[in-house]
Amino acid sequence: MSRRRVVITGLGPVSAHGLGIDPLWSALCEGRSALAPIRAFDARGFRAACGAELPESFDVRELVPKSYRKATKVMARDIEIAVGGALHAVTDAGLRTRGTDPDAAPTVAPDRVGCQIGAGLIAADLDELTAALATARDGDGRFDAAQWGQQGMQELTPLWLLKYLPNMLACHVTIIHDCQGPSNTITCNEASSGLSIAESQRVIERGAADVCLSGGADTKLNPMAYLRQELAGRLALCTIDENPATKIKPFDPSSSGALVGEGGGILVLEAEDTAKARGARIHARLSGTGASQSWCDDTVGLVPDPSGESLADAIEAALRDAGVTAAEIDAVIPYGCGVPALDALEANALARVFGDALPSKPIVTLAPSIGATVAGFGTIAVSVAVKCLAEQRLPARLNSADTGRLAASAAPSEARALRHVLVCTPSLGGQNSAVVVSRYE
Amino acid sequence: MSTNQSNRRVVVTGMGWITPLGHDIDGVWKRLLNAESGMGPTTRFDARTFPTNFCAEVRDYSIDRFVKDASVHASAGLNSQFALGAACQAWKQSGLEGFGGLDRKRVGLYLGAGEGVLDFDNYAAANLAGWNAADRKVDGVSWAGTAHQVLERMCEVEQEPNMPLAHLAREFGIRGPALNCLTACAASTQAIGEAYSLIQRGDADVMISGGTHTMIHVLGVTGFNRLTALSTSKGDPTKASRPFDATRDGFVMGEGSGMIVLESLEHALARGATPLAEVGGYGSSADAFRITDIHPEGRGGAASMHMALAQAGIDPLARRTDGRAAIDYISAHGTGTKENDSIETRGVKRVFG
């Protein structure tokens, strides 16, 4: 039985270069980095004081219908990213929804629209929570549960919890755009977006929806979330006085770690048959996905399976799913965050898959430009893959010098014939994801 | 509208749970039949002055009697510990541990695990140490100074919601597709449905699926108390949860884990396993209505029930030849909140008349 084909009709990446694919693509091709001192909080007490934040002009209130503005008060930043990305994606796909045009009939019936959005562990706003905690202190200034239960907790807004549940990304997006089909929230760290995109593919294939808003969003620029990145060994050493733009060197063993970037966004995935029937502009084909779990003695630790075997399994599963051989892959977008152990894992995985052909596979590195985008990565990377295929061009690479057998060292943007691009990532926790995006022919 | 893309049938070959009523299938089942309650005063933290100071806690639990080597899981948070106990029972019942022909790259995981428990005391200490009352902000540098001293690496990493996956993978050598979804109360049902879909698609032959979570901690109870979703009944905690009762006043928080082993029928039969049940169908939907309210007609709930029934080929309004209804038992959410139970009833009526 032939499988229902899935295509990409809308792009809504959100990154430190701004909303949508255009500012991101220009910056990547021109080799600009958005890494800068962190504005969100004073990060000088951490290993790294720099990251890639959304532009100051980003204002979620401008990205929701007027009637929904009040609800932006209960959106954590991660939710704002998903909401902004969703508006861009549905607009790019030429879809009318309750969110873009509340008075017109939607292009696709709401019960045929699904929503799968990956999310990170969202940390509470420290100022808001601590203002409440500070009202419940004992004589020594320590938190006092008795006072908190009696009175202190009343300081928190009644909807406080709803800002931080990971499924609130999909909750807001489905309400705004009236997506009543299958909906889910996948929380697998760096693999979240890729696994969500794969789930949307399955939902469309099995006929449970015709369109899915799919993607993921994350920000670690909150002291608690940021500390977890540091404790997990993810951050490069980068003081506020150093130039962060030259710090991140994916696949170069001299790299000292990663700097985090906010971002992610939403893609519109659609069944090819219904996309064609409505005359949609088809950007690319989502031709295959794969997933696997790492296993090694330190699976529950910080660097799962350094051999890269399990990431290679996920990539090979995606190639089989796409009906594409390793030789047919024209470019690869790995996580490539600059943490040496993770980069080595990915390099080993790619060597297993591509063998001697590895040096001829150009690698696209995003982290020096937009930081490590964690749960948002797969959405941004797939958007970039789509653009590479559309423009028949590779973006510039920054910073890396010695990348061994990987074609990942610094290089300007170049024109290139591309048919199939692979996106892949391992994760803290060991889930691996791979996605093959193909030129629509 | 849903069409089954393959005829691959999916069966349950093992199950396990860690609950406030006990840590094994048979014992808890007996207690459920005897209408026993796991509710009691909250002991996990000092909740005496909280609007709700009772819940259903897992008691006297240790992973030692379940896992092969507890030292491997030394960093496991409570949710991962619950998951390990439940999954070990399910794995044992499935008989897969002793099955030499198992291809671990064809074994996957799909969990609906919640996030781990915040290290609240130390977190609060760091927040208060960094608190600048004058400008009502936390000073990043002094927060980081305290946080670096008091917060522990693996305790923080364990709060990531995908860590139960890592522990189960480590325990059973799992190398196939692994996913975690976090959709509050819907999470483990969705996990089972999506695991079923992965097996049907041919992406795995065996999946461990289920969920694990606890929110019995200061900020968890705070969050639900602020939402006024929890029962604030006074008196006997075992009488506080009153689903579908006119006097119900909110839900009572429990904790624990339930896990099942799902397997393609073909794979189960080939190794001589006895299926306990079959997954007939699965549905998922979004209300797309409001942040805090369920759609008043139970639209989303009804849609997912319709989808699952359609996939299973069951007409909810039909009678069987012996005159019985098409569905014998509905395991409702039945939280005991005013809003949920009446709307859920409306949703069920939409489907079953």
Contact status of A294 with chain B (Cβ, < 8 Å): yes
A204 contacts chain B (CB < 8 A): no
Q: How far apart are CA B85 and CA B83, in angstroms?
A: 6
Q: What are A98-126's pLDDT values in tens digits?
A: 999 999 999 999 999 999 999 999 999 99
> CA A394 to CA B90: how far, in whole Å?
49
B positions 186-245 inside 8 Å of A (CB): 190, 194, 197-198, 200-201, 203, 218-219, 222-228
Contact B151 A227 (CB under 8 A): yes
The pLDDT, as a whole number, for residue A303 is 81
Taking residues A170-181, what's their average pLDDT?
Answer: 98
| Contact assessment for residue A121 and residue A375, using Cβ atoms and an 8 Å cutoff | no
Confidence of residue B3 (pLDDT cuts 50, 70, 90): very low
CB count within 10 Å of CB A68 equals 18
Could you give the CA distance from residue A195 to residue A434 in angstroms, rounded to a whole number? 8
Helix (H) or strand (E) holding A404: none
Q: Rounded to a whole number, what is the distance in Å from the CA of B274 to chain A's nearest CA?
A: 27
B319 contact partners, CB below 8 Å, separation of at least 6: B325, B326
From A374, A398, A130, A390, select the one nearest A244 (Cα to Cα). A398
Q: Do A291 and B178 touch (CB under 8 A)?
A: yes
Residues A178 and A99: their CA atoms lie apart, in Å, by: 7
**What pLDDT does residue B7 have?**
74
Q: Across the interface, do A121 and B219 touch by the CB < 8 Å criterion? A: no
User: At A1, is the pLDDT very low, low, confident or very high (cuts 50, 70, 90)?
Assistant: low
- Predicted local confidence at residue B82, as pLDDT: 98
Residue window 153-192, chain B: list those with CB within 8 Å of chain A: 153, 156-157, 159-163, 165-167, 169-170, 173-184, 190
Query: What is the number of residues in chain B?
Result: 353
Half-sphere exposure of B79 (CA within 13 A, CB side): 27
Q: Do A188 and B222 touch (CB under 8 A)?
A: no
CA atoms within 13 A on the CB side of B64: 3
Q: How confident is the model at residue B6 (pLDDT cuts 50, 70, 90)?
A: low
Alpha helices (H) along chain B: 25-33, 78-94, 120-129, 140-150, 153-157, 163-172, 187-201, 218-226, 265-270, 299-312, 338-352
**pLDDT at res. A71:** 97
The minimum CA-CA distance between B228 and chain A, rounded to whole Å, is 8
pLDDT surpassing 70 at residue A382 = yes
Is A167 part of the contact surface with chain B (CB cutoff 8 Å)? yes
pLDDT tens by residue, B214-266: 999 999 999 999 999 999 999 999 999 999 999 999 999 999 999 999 999 99
CB contact under 8 A, A231 and B156: yes
Residue A102 CA, distance from chain mean position: 29
Q: Which residue bears the tokens 């990348």?
A: A403
Given this model, what pLDDT does residue B5 score? 47
Give B67's contacts (C-beta < 8 A, 6+ positions apart). B73, B84, B88, B171
**Residue A116: closest CA among chain B residues belongs to which residue?**
B181
A70 in contact with B at a CB cutoff of 8 Å?
no
Percent of chain B with pLDDT over 90: 97
Mean pLDDT score, A246-266: 97
Distance from CA of B329 to the nearest CA of A (A): 24
Cβ contacts of B203 on chain A, cutoff 8 Å: 291, 317
- The model carries a pTM of 0.98
pLDDT over 70, % of chain A: 100
- What mean pLDDT comes out for the span B187-193? 98
Is B182 close to A119, i.e. CB distance below 8 A? yes
Indicate yes or no: CB of A206 within 8 angstroms of CB of B148.
no
Instruction: Please report the residues numbered 306 through 335 in chain A whose beta carbons come closer than 8 angstroms to any beta carbon of chain B.
Output: 310, 313, 317
Instruction: Return the residue of A nearest to B69 by Cα.
Output: A297
Region A360-368: what's the mean pLDDT?
98
Interchain CB distance below 8 Å, A111 and B178: no
pLDDT at A301: 84
ipTM of the complex as predicted: 0.97
Nearest alpha carbon to residue A269 among A256, A280, A258: A280
95-114 of B, contacting A, C-beta below 8 A: 104-105, 108-109
Whether residue A297 is predicted with pLDDT greater than 90 in this model: the reply is: no
Chain centroid to Cα B285, Å, comes to: 18
Nearest to B141 among A44, A167, A187 (CB): A44
Please tell me the distance in Å from A281's CA to the nearest CA on chain B. 25
Residue A40 contacts B, CB cutoff 8 Å = no
Could you tell me if A300 lies within 8 Å of chain B, comparing CB atoms?
yes
Residues of chain B contacting residue A186, judged by C-beta atoms under 8 Å apart: 179-182
Please list every residue in chain A whose beta carbon sits closer than 8 Å to the beta carbon of residue B180: 186-188, 431
Q: pLDDT at residue A2 above 80?
A: no
Write the Ramachandran bin of B22: left for phi over 0, alpha for psi from -120 to 50, otherwise beta.
Answer: left
CA distance B235 to B221: 19
Residue B349: which of B313, B297, B304 has the closest Cα? B297
Q: What is the mean pLDDT of residues B175-184?
A: 97
| Cβ distance of B291 and A45 shorter than 8 Å | no
Give the gap in angstroms from C-alpha A364 to the nearest C-alpha of chain B. 25
Return the residue in B6, B53, B106, B127 with the most chain A beta carbons within 10 A, the one to mutate for interface testing: B127
